[in-house]
Structure formats: C-alpha cells, structure tokens
C-alpha cells in the first residue's frame, strides 16, 4: 500500500505518467537513442534528424513484456527505489511548478517507459538540442510532448534531465563514480547540455582513476569527439609527443639513480620495476621508446671504471684494514649493476658489443685473480651470463670474439664456480654449465679441443668445484674422432649461357 500511495502522489504532482507501462529489462546497445516530438493535439511536427539522433512518435511494446507500474515496483524493488530517488531529487530541485512539456523516456525496444512533466524554459536554457527543437514552435500549442526512445539506460537519461535543475552540478557529481559520470557525459553530449558536459569533464579531471576506469575515460572521450573540451582531462594520460632525446634522458636518469642507490632493498625493487618497463616496451613494437644504445653502453663503461678502480685499491690494502670490506661491498654492487645493464642489452638484442668489451678487460681479469674468491665471484657471474646468452643464441658474435671471451675469463669462471653456485641461490648451476658447453661448441674444432682437454684435467682434480661440461666433451669427441666431416671438393659445374633475343 505504501508503494501505491507514493506512486499516486507522483502521478498527481506530474512526476510520472498515468500510463502504467514500465519495464526495466534493458538490453545493452551502442545504437544512439531515437527522439521525436509531438504536440498535445496529436499533430506531428517537422523532422529533427539534422539536430541530433532521430525521433519516434510512439514506442512499440511487445505484449509479452508489458508490465504495470505496480507490478514492476513489487517485482523489482531496486529499480523502484532508484526511480523514486530520482523523482524525489526532481521534486526537491523543481521550483517552477507543474511542467509544460511532457517528456517520455523509452528504453531499448520499448522495454521501459517513464514520463514526467518538465519545463520548457529549463530545456531551452540548458540544452542546445531542445533549444533548437522547441524554439519558435506553433504558439497555439500549450503543452508539447517529447519522446526519447531506444535509450540504453533510462535511469541515466532521467537523472541527466534532473541535473538540468541543479544549481551546483559539480557538487552533485561528487557522489558519483567515474562510470556514472561518463554515463552523464554521454547523455549530456547527446542533448547538448553544455553545463552538464563542462561539469562532467571538470569532475573527471579531478577524480582519481583506476587503470580500468582510465581505459573507459580515454575510450569514451575519443568516441564523443569533444576535442578541446576534453584536452585538459586527457593531460593525465597524454602529453606532447615525447622525443627520443627526452625518453632517453629519463631512462638514463632512472638507471643511474638505481645504480647509485644506498638502500639495498629499494635498489632491488626499482631494478625489478624498471626491468619490467623495458620488457613491456620491447614487446610493444608499435610504441617502442627509443632508448639509445650509447646511453646503455656509457653505463657499462662507468661500471667497468668503478670495478677496475675498486679492485686496484683492494689489492693495495692490507688484509687487516676495515676499508677492504667496504671496497669489496662496492665491488659486489658494481658487478651487480653491470649484470643488470647486460640483461637489458641482451633483452634489446644489442649485447654483441659488450662481449668484445668484456673480452678485452685483460687488466680487470688480472686484478680479479689477486683477490680472494669470496669477494670476486660476483664478477664471474658476468662471464656466466654472457655464456648463457651466447649458448641460447641471444647474442651473435664472431668466433674470434667468442674465443677471446673464454681466453680472458674462463679460468676465472673455473676458480669462482664453487663459490658462485653455492653462495648464491639465484645462480642455476645447470644453466651455467649448459651455456658454457654451447659456447665452447660454437668454436672451431681445434679450439674446442684446447679448451676441453684443459677442462678434463681440471675436472679430475676439482670435481664438483668445476663446472661439469661432460656433454660438450662428448660432442667434441664424436666430432673429432667418430663423425669426421671433411670438406669435399665441389665437382659441380654450373654453366651459364647468354643468348641475344631478337628485337
């Protein structure tokens, strides 16, 4: 009975039509709503197709989907509550008395119909569409009827019309979420409700967005084509086209900052984050940031200089001095930084020059041999990292460069292998062994023989403290003594005949 009394009160005050047809099963659709205007005596007015979405005179209701207002209010209390709330807000904002325009909002396929008496003066003042539609119509017509059909969301259309009566739209929108404001914006754009458009955009500009909401905002504003009006809102996600120099400077600053970080935990977290940025950027070929190769290699040279300086100082310090431990911590950090940059180079497929650069570090390798293994093994991880990349085909360098790499650093890798694999859980022993094996097997057969025979003697002496590359040894043995491949002379005779073709 309470619901019936409330509906009766709304009908008497003109907020609802006495037409009992109302349903809320609204299908989703991207088709724009259809509108048409009729006078109170039933005379059809001129077409308004050029002003906005087209109009219809009468909605079509399938018989099996028609329900009375009271049935809907009893069966769908949540919808009844929403409509009641909208009409209550309209009642509170309406200071003009009974309306002179009967406005009917009809859902998609006529599934919902709600009528209310609104005021022509408000429509003319607030909406460009209604201003163009209602202005200058027949003076003899006292009450006009407007139907808005094929609406995706009847409630949003009603609420937007009620917003025309609000004196503080921005404050009213503060209670809504991003999706609801976007819905108001779409309807406001449909009916050219200028104040509504501006208020919605101002609200969107100030509101925080989740990533999903950000995607909705960008998509919706793109579809509405509001151009300059939406530019300020989109400044959050777009700017002037970034030049390669600007992007390069930003990345160089981030990389340098992480490499010089004093807090170990923060440095590890930021390394992980920036590495993810690089991977995401590499996978998006259509939007790839141009971070220069020279900038990355400049960081490599900086690390090499620091490593050489630190190792030089370490070898000249008495073992009992405290400064030695501080310097070795710096060595470990610089080696870790170097591995990080090398990972980025490999991921970007520009690590070939670093292989030659590392192979040429004779002085660093000599200094490396003069300090205890427990401090220096971090440097040997760089050699292991390069062997893994070469063995997987992620770095392609000439055979002379590959042999030079092993000539300079293989002995150090052998010496540090036990410390490297036992003290660091992040080092995969089998991965290092496989990478080293594959790198050796890419060399000419005689170079394979030299390296693998030396390994054979060491493995017999050191056992598990030496990398187990037995599989590479077996492959070399079969190549050298079982499946011998000798280059056969090419006895084929390719003949080429040139004929003149008559004109």
Please state which of the ranges 69-73, 122-126, 226-230, 314-318 shows the lowest mean pLDDT.
Answer: 69-73
Helix (H, G, I), strand (E, B) or coil at 467: coil
- Residue of higher predicted confidence among 91 and 303: 303
Number of residues assigned to the chain: 503
User: Which residue, chain included where needed, has tokens 């509101």?
Assistant: 207
Left if phi > 0, otherwise alpha if psi is -120 to 50, otherwise beta: which for 393?
left
Buried b (16+ CB within 10 A) or exposed e, 29-42: eeeebbbbbbbeee
- Tokens linked to 123: 């429509």
CB-neighbour burial class of residue 235 (10 A; exposed 0-12, middle 13-18, buried 19+):
exposed
The predicted pLDDT at position 21 comes to: 32
CB–CB of 368/412 below 8 Å?
yes
Is the Cα torsion angle 239, 240, 244, 246 positive or negative in sign? negative
Cα–Cα distance, 216 to 204 (Å, whole number): 11
- Top mean pLDDT of 167-171, 217-221, 494-498 is at 217-221
Proportion of the chain above pLDDT 70, given as a percent = 73
User: At what angle are helices 399-423 and 373-391 packed, to 10 degrees?
Assistant: 130
Note the pLDDT tens digit of each residue in 71-86.
Answer: 445 545 666 677 788 8
Q: What is the pLDDT of residue 498?
A: 61
Asked if 117 and 99 count as a contact pair (C-beta separation under 8 A), the reply is yes
Separation of alpha carbons 188 and 197, rounded Å:
6
- The Cα–Cα gap between 438 and 446 comes to 15
Residues 6+ apart with CB under 8 A from 287: 281
Higher confidence at residue 293 or residue 239?
293
The pLDDT of residue 446 is: 95
User: Both tokens of residue 461?
Assistant: 């002496």
- For residue 160, which of 133, 131, 189, 132 has the smallest C-alpha distance? 189
3-class DSSP state for residue 114?
A: strand
Burial of 350 (0-12, 13-18, 19+ CB in 10 A): middle
Is the pLDDT higher at 285 or at 215?
215
Provide mean pLDDT across the span 126-151.
72
Average pLDDT over residues 133-148: 64
pLDDT at residue 146 above 50?
yes
The β-bridge relationship of strands 144-151 and 34-39 is antiparallel
pLDDT tops 90 at residue 382: yes
For the segment 180-200, the average pLDDT, to the nearest whole number, is 92
First-last CA distance in the chain: 104
Instruction: Lay out the sheet containing 101-107: strands in order across.
Output: 34-39, 144-151, 101-107, 113-118
Least confident of 139-143, 332-336, 412-416: 139-143
For residue 28, name the pLDDT band (cuts at 50, 70, 90). Answer: very low
- By the 10 Å C-beta count (0-12 exposed, 13-18 middle, 19+ buried), 262 is classed as exposed
pLDDT range class, residue 279, cuts 50, 70, 90: confident
Degrees, nearest 5: CA angle 88-92-94:
110
Which residue carries 């084509």 as its tokens?
225
Residue 369: phi and psi, rounded to 5, are -70, -10
* 176 Cβ neighbours under 8 A, 6+ residues apart: 184, 203
Tell me what percent of the residues of the chain surpass a pLDDT of 90. 39
Is pLDDT larger for residue 408 or for residue 314?
Answer: 408
Q: What is the pLDDT of residue 386?
A: 97
Locus of tokens 């509504």: 196
- Which range, 44-58, 136-150, 210-224, 439-453, is most confident? 439-453
144 Cβ neighbours under 8 A, 6+ residues apart: 37, 38, 39, 40, 100, 101, 102, 120, 134, 137
Token pair for 363: 């002085």
Q: And the tokens for 292?
A: 């220069």
pLDDT(224) > 60 = yes
* Torsion sign over Cα 422, 427, 430, 434: negative
């Amino acid at each position: 009975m309470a619901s019936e009394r409330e509906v009766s009160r709304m009908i008497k005050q003109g907020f609802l039509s006495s037409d009992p047809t109302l349903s809320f099963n609204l299908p989703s659709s991207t088709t724009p709503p259809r509108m048409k205007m009729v006078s109170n005596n039933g005379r059809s007015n001129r077409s308004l197709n050029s002003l906005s979405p087209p109009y219809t005179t009468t909605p079509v209701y399938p018989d099996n989907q028609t329900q009375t207002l009271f049935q809907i209010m009893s069966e769908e209390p949540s919808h009844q509550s929403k409509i009641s709330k909208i009409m209550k807000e309209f009642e509170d904002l309406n200071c003009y008395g009974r309306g002179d325009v009967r406005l009917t909002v009809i859902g998609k396929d006529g599934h919902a119909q709600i009528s209310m008496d609104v005021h022509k003066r408000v429509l003319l003042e607030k909406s460009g569409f209604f201003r163009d539609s209602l202005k200058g119509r027949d003076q003899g017509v006292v009450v006009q009827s407007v139907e808005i059909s094929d609406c995706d969301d009847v409630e949003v259309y009603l609420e937007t019309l009620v917003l025309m009566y609000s004196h503080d739209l921005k404050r009213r929108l503060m209670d809504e979420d991003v999706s609801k404001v976007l819905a108001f914006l779409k309807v406001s754009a449909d009916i050219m409700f200028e104040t509504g458009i501006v208020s919605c955009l101002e609200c969107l500009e100030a509101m925080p967005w989740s990533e999903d909401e950000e995607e909705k905002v960008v998509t919706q504003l793109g579809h509405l084509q509001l151009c300059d009006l939406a530019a300020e809102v989109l400044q959050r996600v777009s700017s002037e086209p970034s030049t390669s120099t600007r992007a390069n400077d930003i990345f160089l600053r981030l990389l340098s900052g992480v490499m010089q970080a004093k807090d170990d935990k923060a440095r590890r977290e930021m390394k992980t984050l920036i590495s993810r940025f690089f991977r995401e950027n590499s996978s998006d070929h259509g939007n790839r940031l141009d971070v220069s190769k020279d900038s990355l290699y400049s960081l490599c040279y900086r690390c090499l200089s620091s490593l050489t300086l630190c190792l030089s100082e370490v070898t000249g310090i008495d073992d009992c001095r405290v400064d030695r431990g501080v310097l070795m911590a710096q060595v470990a950090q610089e080696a870790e930084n170097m591995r990080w940059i090398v990972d980025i180079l490999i991921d970007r497929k520009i690590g070939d020059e670093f292989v030659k650069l590392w192979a040429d570090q004779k002085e660093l390798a000599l200094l490396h041999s003069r300090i205890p293994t427990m401090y220096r093994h971090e440097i040997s991880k760089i050699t292991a990292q390069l062997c893994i990349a070469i063995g997987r085909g992620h770095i392609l360098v000439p055979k002379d460069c590959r042999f030079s790499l092993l000539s300079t650093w293989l002995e150090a890798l052998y010496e540090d292998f036990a410390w490297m694999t036992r003290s660091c859980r992040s080092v995969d022993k089998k991965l290092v062994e496989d990478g080293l094996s594959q790198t050796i097997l890419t060399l000419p057969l005689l170079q394979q023989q030299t390296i693998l025979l030396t390994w054979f003697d060491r493995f017999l002496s050191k056992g598990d403290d030496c990398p187990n590359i037995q599989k590479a040894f077996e492959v070399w043995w079969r190549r050298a003594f079982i499946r011998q491949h000798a280059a056969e002379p090419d006895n084929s005779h390719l003949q080429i005949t040139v004929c003149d073709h008559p004109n």
